[in-house]
């Protein structure tokens, strides 16, 4: 079979599996996830042995230590994957929920029932745990899933997928509900992205390059976020201690993730006291500051920010700092350079916090809290399948519910239209 034929077959099988998967009870789905978790732990040594092949190849290819660390599976990490599946089993099942049921004047009742999307395609890189995590969320929400991981983790991904699929089959469920693409040829992605009749949604997870590639080649709707250029604005009325704690947490606690702060905006009336203080505090924690001219007057050791630094996702201990005239300039800066991910205002001014909430059009808008909270788990959505910075379907961190849609249900007793 050509790669095209393989992909068509695999997506078609997934589509066929949706008939069964969409109508499973929560009990069966939760049981399935727990069996998968147990099976994964029982098979840990085989999975780790397959993973060793990926690691060996990564070493041969001279991948960085950080990259290799992302790839590595050990007993602990396999156990963490299994626990992830068990946690998804504990989450409430969104499927079947009926809401907004209202009686119309003519007596028909009109409401909406939550249903799975159908077939979800996940295109991802490196971390093999995505195989189990994404499969768990898609299956729990009644969907079938097609998983296409990166070539660097192919042995690990196939090993994990095989273990999970065996449990599906052992329960008499359709194996087509969980498809792992076994070829590492990039053509497999472009072929999958054409199958709009059999795949309902594509979620790419990885670097900006992968995400752009997927969204440019897909005929299927894509939910994506390119990058997280998160801003914190310290208003004139901010509590200095709170602002310092929030900025340090947002920048330093885990700088390599998309909800870390990348640009700090400071109200000019706070600048004289807050700029020297926060620069010192961050420098003491190893952060390199790149500042505007006002910042550099107040902290001369700071390097000048270039135009490119505004809007850059450093993903590192680097921070761009700008002093602004006030809230309007801060909002304007965010609108121009932001990525619609997460923005924070630290303020004690009622009117300004209200305006910030209303006028900043990012997917997450926060008052007096660290941007590091911008996460499905922290928001109470349960495990997170991704973050959307485009507004259609979902905007912001996405949980189980975002893998579903709603159909209309109409209950009549013989009504016809005039």
Site for its own copies in 185-214 (CB under 8 A): 200-201
Q: Should residue 351 be labelled a site residue for its own copies when binding is judged by CB under 8 A? A: no
> Which of 158/334 has CB closer to its own copies?
334
- The contacts of residue 126 (CB under 8 Å, 6+ apart) are 67, 70, 71, 150, 152, 153, 206
Cα 322–Cα 326–Cα 332 angle in degrees, nearest 5: 70
* Class of residue 172 by CB neighbours under 10 A (exposed 0-12, middle 13-18, buried 19+): exposed
The CA distance from 393 to 318, in Å, is 33
Query: In this chain, which of 73, 125, 362, 399 binds its own copies, going by CB under 8 A?
Result: 362
Q: Should residue 327 be labelled a site residue for its own copies when binding is judged by CB under 8 A? A: no
The CA distance from 242 to 62, in Å, is 44
> Which of 65/102 has CB closer to its own copies?
102
Closest CA to 213 of 125, 137, 154: 125
Say what angle helices 350-359 and 327-337 make with each other, to 10 degrees.
20
Query: Cα–chain-centroid distance for residue 288?
Result: 27
Query: In this chain, which of 30, 51, 141, 374 binds its own copies, going by CB under 8 A?
Result: 374
CB of residue 167 vs its own copies: minimum separation in angstroms?
A: 25
CB of residue 391 vs its own copies: minimum separation in angstroms?
A: 4
Q: Should residue 370 be labelled a site residue for its own copies when binding is judged by CB under 8 A? A: yes
Q: Should residue 396 be labelled a site residue for its own copies when binding is judged by CB under 8 A? A: yes
> Which of 61/103 has CB closer to its own copies?
103
Query: In this chain, which of 6, 26, 184, 378 binds its own copies, going by CB under 8 A?
Result: 378
The CA distance from 85 to 80, in Å, is 9
Length of the chain, in residues:
418
CB of residue 99 vs its own copies: minimum separation in angstroms?
A: 12
Listing from the earlier edge strand, what are the strands of the sheet with 201-205?
Answer: 178-180, 144-148, 119-124, 201-205
CB of residue 102 vs its own copies: minimum separation in angstroms?
A: 6
Query: In this chain, which of 159, 178, 365, 383 binds its own copies, going by CB under 8 A?
Result: 365
Q: Should residue 329 be labelled a site residue for its own copies when binding is judged by CB under 8 A? A: no
Q: Should residue 361 be labelled a site residue for its own copies when binding is judged by CB under 8 A? A: yes
Per DSSP, 340 falls in state S
CB of residue 38 vs its own copies: minimum separation in angstroms?
A: 29
Q: Which residues of 88-114 are buried (b: 16+ CB within 10 A; e: fewer)?
A: bbebebbbeeeeeeeeeeeeeeebebb
CA dihedral (60, 67, 159, 9) positive or negative:
negative
CB of residue 302 vs its own copies: minimum separation in angstroms?
A: 24
Site for its own copies in 141-180 (CB under 8 A): none
Q: Copy the structure tokens of residue 310.
A: 């505004």
Q: Copy the structure tokens of residue 145.
A: 């899933």
* Class of residue 268 by CB neighbours under 10 A (exposed 0-12, middle 13-18, buried 19+): middle
Q: Should residue 380 be labelled a site residue for its own copies when binding is judged by CB under 8 A? A: yes
Per DSSP, 254 falls in state -
CB of residue 396 vs its own copies: minimum separation in angstroms?
A: 5
Query: In this chain, which of 43, 117, 266, 287 binds its own copies, going by CB under 8 A?
Result: 117
CB of residue 408 vs its own copies: minimum separation in angstroms?
A: 4
CB of residue 232 vs its own copies: minimum separation in angstroms?
A: 12
List residues near its own copies by CB under 8 A.
Answer: 19, 22-23, 96, 102, 104, 108, 110, 113, 115, 117-118, 200-201, 216, 219, 221, 239, 242, 245-246, 248-250, 253, 335, 357-359, 361-370, 372-374, 378-380, 390-397, 405-417
């Amino acid at each position: 079979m050509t790669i095209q034929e393989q992909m068509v077959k695999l997506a078609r099988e997934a589509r066929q599996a949706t008939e069964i998967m969409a109508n499973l009870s929560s009990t069966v789905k939760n049981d399935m996830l727990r069996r998968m978790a147990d099976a994964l732990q029982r098979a840990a040594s085989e999975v780790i042995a397959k993973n060793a092949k990926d690691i060996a190849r990564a070493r041969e290819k001279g991948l960085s230590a950080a990259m290799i660390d992302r790839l590595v599976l050990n007993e602990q990490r396999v156990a963490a994957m299994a626990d992830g599946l068990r946690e998804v089993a504990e989450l409430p099942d969104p499927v079947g929920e009926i809401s907004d049921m209202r009686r119309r004047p003519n007596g028909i009742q009109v409401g909406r029932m939550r249903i799975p999307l159908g077939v979800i395609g996940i295109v991802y890189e490196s971390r093999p745990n995505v195989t189990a995590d994404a499969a768990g969320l898609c299956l729990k929400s009644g969907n079938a899933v097609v998983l296409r991981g990166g070539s660097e983790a192919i042995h690990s991904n196939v090993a994990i997928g095989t273990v999970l699929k065996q449990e599906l089959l052992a329960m008499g469920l359709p194996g087509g509900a969980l498809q792992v693409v076994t070829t590492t040829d990039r053509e497999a992605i472009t072929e999958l992205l054409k199958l709009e009749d059999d795949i309902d949604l594509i979620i790419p997870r990885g670097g900006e390059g992968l995400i752009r590639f997927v969204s440019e080649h897909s005929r299927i709707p894509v939910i994506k976020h390119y990058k997280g250029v998160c801003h914190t604005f310290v208003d004139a009325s901010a509590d200095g201690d709170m602002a310092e704690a929030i900025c340090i947490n947002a920048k330093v606690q885990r700088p390599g993730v998309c909800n870390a702060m990348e640009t700090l905006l400071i109200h000019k009336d706070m600048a004289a006291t807050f700029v020297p203080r926060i620069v010192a505090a961050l420098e003491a924690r190893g952060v390199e500051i790149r500042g505007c001219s006002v910042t550099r007057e107040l902290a001369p050791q700071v390097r000048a920010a270039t135009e490119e630094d505004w809007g850059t996702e450093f993903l590192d201990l680097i921070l761009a700092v700008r002093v602004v005239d006030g809230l309007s300039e801060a909002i304007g800066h965010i609108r121009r350079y932001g990525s619609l991910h997460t923005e924070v205002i630290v303020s004690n001014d009622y009117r300004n916090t209200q305006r910030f909430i209303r006028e900043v059009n990012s997917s997450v808008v926060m008052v007096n809290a660290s941007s590091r909270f911008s996460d499905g788990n922290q928001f109470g959505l349960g495990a997170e399948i991704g973050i959307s910075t485009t507004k259609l379907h979902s905007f912001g961190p996405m949980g189980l519910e975002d893998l579903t849609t709603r159909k209309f249900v109409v209950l009549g007793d013989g009504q016809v239209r005039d």
